């Protein structure tokens, strides 16, 4: 998966393949339920960004799939756990032992960002629909932001930061002289149905779609693909139409 937005399927991945500087590689080590099956491990993702490699969760069966990539256990020093259910931590002991067996000389770091996520989902208050809030619906949590001190986290090329989804964060306009870029990836199986009647589009990253619940998105053929911008506009239009159908009246507020 490239940082420029180009998604590359995994059929042509070879163990030990070098990662270009402008790419981020995400490998799904497991996507299954709390009960691992012979061909499907529990939740785990290997993220490679620059020279860094880390895991997002380490469910049962995931270490076996990690071994098949022919990456030494000592190459991964950080594991981020979303929560402590067995389908997200069941393989952690095997992963730790694997590093010890391979000669790890540094601690295996288990990360979980501290902060407001410990309070769980907070209630929403009156939406802020001013230009200070970049969220289309102007969501605003009922929390005294003056009671905490925001932390700046500038990143260098090749670095990444991980944050819990329930950590309070701002969505202020970009007032710097640098471009702000962001991407959100949502992975799900083709058999997941959509609510409502309107269709949205998805990009099939691997396998076959035997259900037909979504329109297919075609990835850019090259960095300068002249039709990629048009296809992107069409995909955004489908997404916004679906949001409006499901009751989101402010989807075009920032146009």
Q: Which residues are within 8 A (CB) of 210 and not within 5 positions of it... i.e. 6 or more apart?
A: 190
Closest CA relative to residue 169, chosen from 115, 130, 129, 120: 115
Looking up tokens 């990444």, which residue turns up?
160
User: What SS3 state is found at 2?
Assistant: strand
Cβ contact 9:28 at 8 Å: no
Please say which residue of 151, 182, 213 terminates a domain: 182
Ranges of residues in the chain whose predicted pLDDT is under 50: 1-4, 113
- At 56 the three-state DSSP class reads strand
Note whether 14 and 100 are same-domain residues: yes
The rounded distance, in Å, linking the Cα atoms of 10 and 39 is 17
Q: What is the β-pairing status of strands 52-56 and 44-49?
A: antiparallel
Query: Cα–chain-centroid distance for residue 209?
Result: 21
Domain residue limits at 192: 188-255
**CA–CA separation, 50 and 52 (whole Å):** 6
CA distance 53 to 29: 13
Query: CATH code at 38?
Result: 3.60.15.10
The reported pLDDT for the residue numbered 121 is: 67
Do residue 159 and residue 74 come from a single domain? no
Considering the domain architecture, whether residues 48 and 81 belong to the same structural domain is answered as yes
Q: Which of 154, 180, 157, 153 is nearest to 20 (CA)?
A: 157
Same domain (yes/no): 98, 8: yes
CB 169 within 8 A of CB 163: yes
pLDDT digits (tens, 9 = 90+) for 153-190: 777 777 777 766 667 767 677 777 877 777 777 788 88
Identify whether residues 18 and 76 lie together within a single domain: yes
- C-beta separation of 2 from 48 below 8 A: no
Give pLDDT, residue 164.
65
**CA 87, CA 84: separation in Å to the nearest integer?**
8
Please enumerate in sequence order all residues whose Cβ is within 8 A of that of 121, keeping only pairs 6 or more positions apart, or say none. 166
135 shares its domain with 103:
no
User: Which distant-in-sequence residues (6+ apart) come within 8 Å of 142 by Cβ?
Assistant: 122, 123, 124, 125
Q: Give the count of domains, the chain.
A: 3
């Amino acid at each position: 998966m490239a940082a420029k937005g180009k998604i590359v399927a995994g059929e042509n991945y070879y163990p030990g393949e070098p990662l270009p500087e402008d790419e981020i590689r995400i490998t799904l080590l497991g996507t299954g339920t709390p009960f691992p099956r012979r061909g499907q491990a529990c939740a785990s993702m290997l993220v490679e960004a620059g020279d860094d490699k880390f895991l997002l969760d380490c469910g049962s069966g995931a270490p076996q799939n990690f071994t098949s990539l022919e990456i030494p256990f000592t190459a991964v020093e950080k594991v981020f756990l979303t929560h402590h259910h067995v389908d997200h931590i069941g393989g952690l002991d095997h992963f730790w032992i694997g590093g010890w067996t391979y000669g790890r000389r540094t601690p295996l770091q288990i990360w979980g960002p501290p902060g407001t996520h410990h309070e769980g989902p907070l209630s929403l208050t009156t939406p802020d629909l001013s230009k200070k809030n970049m969220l289309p619906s102007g969501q605003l949590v009922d929390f005294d932001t003056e009671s905490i001190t925001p932390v700046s986290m500038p990143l260098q090329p090749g670095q990444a930061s991980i944050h819990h989804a329930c950590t309070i964060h701002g969505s202020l306009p970009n007032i710097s002289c640098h471009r702000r870029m962001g991407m959100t990836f949502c992975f799900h199986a083709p058999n997941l149905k959509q609510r409502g009647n309107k269709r949205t589009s998805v990009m099939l990253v691997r396998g076959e779609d035997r259900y037909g619940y979504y329109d297919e998105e075609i990835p850019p053929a090259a960095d300068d693909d002249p039709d990629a911008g048009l296809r992107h506009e069409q995909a955004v239009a489908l997404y916004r139409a679906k949001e409006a159908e499901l009751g989101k009246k402010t989807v075009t507020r920032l146009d």
